[in-house]
Amino acid sequence: MLRPLPLATAAILSGPVLLGLLGTVLPAVGLGPLGTGLTLDPVREVLAWPGLPQAMALSLTSGLLSTLGALAVAMLILAGWHGTRAFTLLERLLSPLLAVPHAAAALGLAFLIAPSGWIARLPALALGWDVPPDLLIVQDRLGLALTAGLIAKELPFLLLMMLAALGQTDQRRRMAVARSLGQGRVAGWVKTVFPSLYAQVRLPVLVVLVYAMTNVDVALILGPNTPPTLSVQVTRWMTDPDLGQRAVAAAGAVVQLGLVLAALLAWQMGERLTARLGRAWVWSGRGLAERAARAAGLALGVLSALSILLGIAALALWSVAAGWRFPDLVPEALSARNWMRFGPEMLEVAGDTLALAAVSTAVSLLLVIGCLEAEHRFGLTVGQRALWLLYLPLLIPQVAFLPGLVAAAGSVGLGPSWPLVALGHVVFVLPYVFLSLSGPFRAWDGRLARVAAGLGARPDAVLWRLRLPMLLAPVLTAVAVGMAVSVGQYLPTLLLGGGRVSTLATEAVALAAGGNRRAIGIWGLGQTLAAFLPFALALLVPALVWRDRRGLRHG
Amino acid sequence: MAEGLRLEGVRLSQGERSLLEIDACVPPGTVTTLMGPSGSGKSTLLSFVMGDLAPGFRAEGRVTLDGRDLTGLAPEARHIGILYQDPLLFPHLDVAANLAFGLPRGGRRAARRAAVEAALSEVALEGYGPRDPATLSGGQAARVALMRVLLSAPRALLLDEPFSKLDAELRAQMRELVFDRARVAAIPVLLVTHDAADAEAAGGPVIRL
Amino acid sequence: MRLPLIAALALATPAFAEPDPTDWDAVLAEAEGQTVYWHAWGGSTTTNDFIAWIGEQVAEQGVTLEHVKLADTADAVSLVLSERQAGKTEGGSVDLIWINGANFASMKEQGLLFGPFAEALPNWRFVDAGGKTVTTDFTIPTEGYESPWAMAQVVFIHDSERVAEPPATAEALLDWAQANPGRFTFPQPPDFLGTTFLKQMLIELVEDPAVLQQPVGDDYAEIAAPLWAFMDDLTPVLWREGRAYPQTGPRQLQLMNDGEVDIAISFSPGEATAAIANYELPATARTYVLEAGTLGNASFVAIPFNANAKAGAMVVADTLLSPEAQLRAQMPDVLGYGTVLDMDALSEADRAAFDALDLGVATLSPEELGQALPEPHPSWAERLAADWVARYGVAN
């Protein structure tokens, strides 16, 4: 029963991706139902698009810089502040942000930093500006606003992933040794804890990189549009009324895929270079500007938390706003009208969304635990290559394989439906559950299992009564991450559900297109709360269950 | 006399519970042994001396090293080395880089390499520099850990049951090596153990908690 | 044994509508108990509310209406297309699409639509087929493959507090923008509203707008030249110097509410009034049209060839044409859309209700709106949008 699980899981994950990719690549070279026979015309058309070099450069720089930025800030925060009261505060500030949907975070941020936004209204009021300055802050050509938004949004994810893995790195004793050997707090942490930690969170980091390069919603709101990032342009081709453009979109998706692969390769080379530089640094014995590094970590962490929190606060205020014009800091009056208009439907959809998230996460969790246990019992180790396959859905741009997948599912009689959406969510939820659970699961002290076996416990008993209870915190974190991922899925829900399965994500993005801040505020808050609930439980439950067990509390 | 490691009126408590009270002076080149059952606060005391007390513990009194008050100093500024029962070699660094880790800043690259090579040969591990620490035997790893701490030129050395994981024969060798090196370096050593044989081999005063 | 033969016949003659709309009682009987998935743009909350209200009306006839909110109508088109690719010729997931222009042209050309059905709907008798452009859609004859439900016309919204005398010609707009740099923008083409702005300006600038009724020909460059000369002058004085654009119409209104721009384009004469009521525009917002008139077109609903609930979808289409629904759509605090009905065809009571409608402070009367100009052939929108993107959309 357990033995074939890893293979089956790999098939569940990679099958849809490969089928979908085929459904994308074929039209890109003129094959398939709409095609006109083998031709490179769609590819040529993409290459002839005048915005291509800039769009590619934008995708690449915003993706690489935001991933690097989020990783660096997470590192500085952990290195400089882990175990302090400031860290606890920061963690409390940042963790809920993981649940904030990307589109809502981006819209909030856009309102915050725009020339007519909240921040600019302070000088506007003080200096009596009557109209906002005509400055290109949001949607700037270099994609700086986009990069900053992505950093702020990905930081909580990376921090939580690192924090979950930190319990397994023996950081306390390593730090004690490093500091007794004369290294400062930050330098010692970066030299001794970070390398092991990075090895554990490497795939999440790559996932962030791919997401940052290929997301559509954040790039639409914060990124430039003349031209936009490549993924936005591919989506435009895909949604062009002229059906002939689908082939161009497919070819664009193939280019996007190539760009992502190139970026992954570049990242890997960067990793090697960094490791080499790191060793030279260790040999040199040199430290860091400790005060500056700690201050920067805290400041950037607080800044990024505040930017999203204030953005959400702004959306919340919009949701109850009557008229609200520039340069007023608050609405003219508050009104319950918006909630009466949108609230009831939102709550109904929120229930459906959570049900979908619960089902897809439960399926994912069972498969993941099954795989990990099979690996543990039978030594069925998922090789490094098979592991890449497992993460395929996260490393392949969604826009590149989902349309092809819908067609493939339809050809075997699987029309758009709730079960298909749930299955589709599993494809994206499972890797995240795996990412967040595999580290702690594998790092669990196997000697305890041998002790238990010596006391007569069967493997199942060891799993259910020993291993999983001890791993309660990471298991619940994995569940929360899985549910947040499900709640955030837009494209898979839309395409696999044929638009019939409404979730908070599909409704929120559809509204985002309309730009009604009041409705966006209500739906965005709903989506945030839906994803936040599991996280709150993941933090609360282990703290309650293990309140008297110091050894089972992480950090 | 100001030299050596002095614990003056040190009193540790966790919440309302008092853990231990101690006054002690460890002159350079000598070993003082602290003995006590598990939970008597030995390791907490070491953390306090290191400057690394976990939140939730409270400490009174002060620690001086060669006349310098350590209160409020960051761990890395105290120049106190420590050996645990696990060697705690950094797994991502090779043996040589582990040794270089604690070398005080400065000096040319070649000089640093030479210092590391010399340290390796001192403990009969010539040529082990490029090795992965995970491939070392328990005794080899313990020796690397010892040399790593000594290369950092500590002004005092703390030993947290450093021999308890070694088999009997190795344990005797390591004891000799560690105490010998500490005497040569003329630094005060504070040993925490529950093994009477350790205390006996250390030869210094024994404080029972 | 005869069943497959009938099915084969039905497939072989796609023009033969099944269920047959001329047998309305049979349609009603079949519709009862059906669920209709209406794929319609979900970006406007007022429209969403209106569709929910339509749902309540058809529920009385046993039809359940589900609004599938799209970010882009093309999503529904691609869904139907992918279903056909997968060989799904019945039981499809889209029953009704809010559609017009290029999406309709594309679906009709590909044979993705059910019909003809529109002119057989019972309420068609009220439709002003002679006076309003409801049987052609961007010059493409509808031939009964889509049913109209609202009239739209280009208007410009301005903040009367800031712009007392709004510019009512292309030249005046350029002069005004040069005098007030950074205070005007339009949704970024190929957004339909942005493309509409280009078409509207082209109509203003071209010598003979009649050429636009033909598909784009070899003389395109010559015809479009005045537009690009105009845009070259206008772009540098746009909001953000033309380096960024709002992505949709409602976003553009948001900019107006934020005080970032003073003039906005809209395809819905009642939008400003509705937006004021919903706090989305300042109370000083007003509407105006260009001196030489503005573009108008109809919004339609169409039924895909493989729709699962064709009968139910026709009931919804018919309900949309009922005087009651048309009146509601025209109410300024609901949608403020123009009706497609012929006032003379209505009963006296219905006509009186339309006459009594207070259109709202920011909505022009039908006389002020004037006769709508016909939409150019869809190939113009496509070509202009593509050309604009190449010229201004990827500026370096």
User: In this predicted model, what pLDDT tens digit does every residue of B53-72 receive, in sequence order?
Assistant: 887 888 999 999 999 999 88
Q: What does pLDDT average to over chain B?
A: 90
Query: CA torsion, points A267, A268, A274, A275, in degrees to nearest 10?
Result: 160
Is C44's pLDDT higher than 80? no
Q: In whole angstroms, what is the distance from residue A148 CA to residue A139 CA?
A: 11
A294 interface with C at CB cutoff 8 Å: no
Nearest C-alpha in A relative to C106: A242
Q: Is A176 on the interface with B (CB under 8 A)?
A: yes
C169 near A CB under 8 A? no
Candidates A179, A195, A283; nearest CB to B75: A179
Q: Do A182 and B152 touch (CB under 8 A)?
A: yes
Average pLDDT over residues C297-318: 95
User: Angle at which helices A85-94 and A290-319 pack, to 10 degrees?
Assistant: 40
B-chain residue closest to A181, CA distance: B102
Mean pLDDT of C306-332: 94
Write out C80-149 in H/E/C secondary structure.
HHHHHHCCCCCCECCCEEEECCHHHHHHHHCCCECCCCHHHCHHHHHECCCCCCCCEECCEECCCCEEEE
Residue C66 has pLDDT above 60, yes or no: yes
B206-208 β-sheet, strand order: B80-83, B156-160, B189-193, B31-35, B206-208
Percent of chain A with pLDDT over 70: 94
Three-class SS state of C339: coil
Closest-CA residue of A relative to C75 is: A239
Quote the radius of gyration of chain C (alpha carbons, Å): 22
Chain B: residue whose CA lies nearest to A198: B92
pLDDT at B96: 94
CATH number of C155-294+372-393: 3.40.190.10
Q: Please compute the mean of the pLDDT values over residues A488-495 and round it to a whole number.
A: 82
- The pLDDT value given to residue C85: 77
Q: Which of A539-548, B147-156, C9-18 bottoms out in mean pLDDT, i.e. has the lowest? A: C9-18
pLDDT value, residue C331: 87
Q: Is the model's pLDDT at A57 over the cut of 70?
A: yes
Q: What percent of chain C has pLDDT over 90?
A: 63
pLDDT at A513: 64
The reported pLDDT for the residue numbered C98 is: 95
Stretch(es) of chain A classified as CATH 1.10.3720.10: 1-27+336-555, 40-333
Chain A nearest C-alpha distance from C245 (Å)? 7
Q: Which amino acid is at C58?
A: V
Alpha carbon of C79: minimum distance to chain A alpha carbons (Å): 7
pLDDT at residue C1 in the model: 36
DSSP B69-93: E-TT--GGGT-EEEE-SS----TTS
Is the pLDDT reported for residue A84 higher than 50? yes
Instruction: Check CB contact under 8 Å for A179 and B76.
Output: yes
Min Cα–Cα distance to chain A from B100, Å: 5
Q: Structural domain boundaries of chain C?
A: 13-150+298-363, 155-294+372-393
Instruction: Identify whether the C-beta of residue A248 lies closer than 8 Å to the C-beta of residue A45.
Output: yes
What mean pLDDT value characterizes chain A? 86
pLDDT at residue A139 in the model:
85
Query: Among A23-37, B125-139, C186-200, C337-351, which stretch is predicted with the lowest mean pLDDT?
Result: A23-37
For range C257-262, the mean pLDDT: 92
Query: pLDDT-derived band of residue A273, with 50, 70 and 90 as boundaries?
Result: very high
Q: Are B206 and B199 in contact (CB under 8 A)?
A: yes
Instruction: List, for residues A457-481, the tens digit of each pLDDT value.
Output: 888 888 888 888 888 888 998 998 8
| Cβ–Cβ below 8 Å for B88 and A185 | no
Per-residue pLDDT of C68-82, as tens digits, reads 988 778 878 888 887
What fold characterizes domain A40-333? Answer: MetI-like fold (1.10.3720)
- Closest Cα of chain A to B128: distance in Å? 16
C132: left (phi over 0), alpha (psi -120 to 50) or beta: beta
Interface probe, candidates A112, A135, A516, chain C, greatest C C-beta count within 10 A = A516
Partner-chain contact A174 B88, CB within 8 Å: yes
* Structure token pair of residue C113: 């639509």
DSSP C350-370: HHHHHHH----TT---HHHH-
Residues in C closer than 8 angstroms to A498, CB to CB, are 68, 79, 93-94
Min distance B38 CA to chain A CA atoms (Å):
16
Cross-chain residue pair A191–B52, CB shorter than 8 Å: no
Residue B155 is predicted with a pLDDT of 93
CB C188 within 8 A of CB C251: no
Partner C contacted by A384 (CB < 8 A): no
Query: Can you tell me the mean pLDDT for B6-26?
Result: 90
In a domain, B98, yes or no: no
Is C279's CB within 8 Å of A134's CB? Answer: no
Confidence of residue A385 (pLDDT cuts 50, 70, 90): low
Residue B91: list chain A partners with CB under 8 A.
196
Q: What is the pTM of this model?
A: 0.81
Average pLDDT of span C123-138? 90
- Note the pLDDT of residue C16: 46
Q: Please give the pLDDT value at position A547.
A: 75
pLDDT over threshold 90, residue B15? no
What value of ipTM does the predicted structure carry? 0.90
pLDDT band at A319 (very low <50, low <70, confident <90, very high): very high
* Confidence at residue C6, expressed as pLDDT on a 0 to 100 scale: 42
pLDDT of res. A94: 84
Q: Please tell me the distance in Å from A184's CA to the nearest CA on chain B.
A: 6
Name the DSSP letter for residue B53: P
* Nearest chain C CA: its distance from A68 CA (Å): 26
- Tell whether B16 is covered by a domain: yes
Q: Quick one: pLDDT at residue C217?
A: 93
Say if residues C255 and C188 touch (Cβ distance below 8 Å).
no
Q: What is the structure's pLDDT at C172?
A: 97
C351/A contact by beta carbon, under 8 A: no
Asked if pLDDT for residue C126 goes beyond 90, the answer is yes
Residue A14 reports pLDDT greater than 50: yes
Q: Tell me if chain A has a CB within 8 Å of the CB of C322.
A: no
Structural domain tally of chain B?
Answer: 1
Q: Is B191 part of a structural domain of the chain?
A: yes
Span C180-208, mean pLDDT?
A: 93
Q: Which residues contact C101 (CB under 8 A, 6 or more apart)?
A: A241, C137, C138, C192, C297, C375, C378, C381
- The answer as to whether B142 is a domain residue is no
Asked if C71 and C102 count as a contact pair (C-beta separation under 8 A), the reply is no
Tell me which chain A residues have a C-beta less than 8 angstroms from the C-beta of C98: none
For residue C13, what pLDDT is reported? 42
Task: Choose among C45, C91, C394: nearest Cβ to A341.
Answer: C45
In a domain, B102, yes or no: no
Q: Determine, yes or no, domain membership for B116.
A: no
Quick check: A342 contacting C, CB < 8 Å? yes
For residue B192, the enclosing domain spans: 5-90+152-208
- Residue A310 pLDDT greater than 50, yes or no: yes
Cα distances (Å, whole numbers) of residue C132 to A133, A274, C105, C324, C374: 44, 69, 19, 19, 10
Q: What distance in Å separates the CA atoms of residue A399 and residue C76, rounded to the nearest whole number?
A: 16
C13-150+298-363 sits in which CATH class?
alpha beta
Chain A touches chain C, with at least 3 Cβ pairs below 8 Å, answer yes
The single-letter code of the amino acid at A267 is W
What is the distance between the terminal CA atoms of chain A, rounded to a whole angstrom?
A: 36
Confidence (pLDDT) at A34: 60
Are C94 and C80 in contact, with CB atoms under 8 Å apart? yes
Give the separation between CA A514 and CA C254, rounded to whole angstroms: 10
Which pLDDT score is estimated for A407?
66
Do the Cβ atoms of A326 and C250 come within 8 Å?
Answer: no
pLDDT of residue A33: 61
Please determine, for residue A530, whether its predicted confidence score (pLDDT) is greater than 70: yes
Q: Say if B64 falls within a structural domain.
A: yes
SS3 content of chain C, % helix, strand, coil (to 5): 45, 15, 40
CATH 3.40.50.620 fits A1-27+336-555, yes or no: no
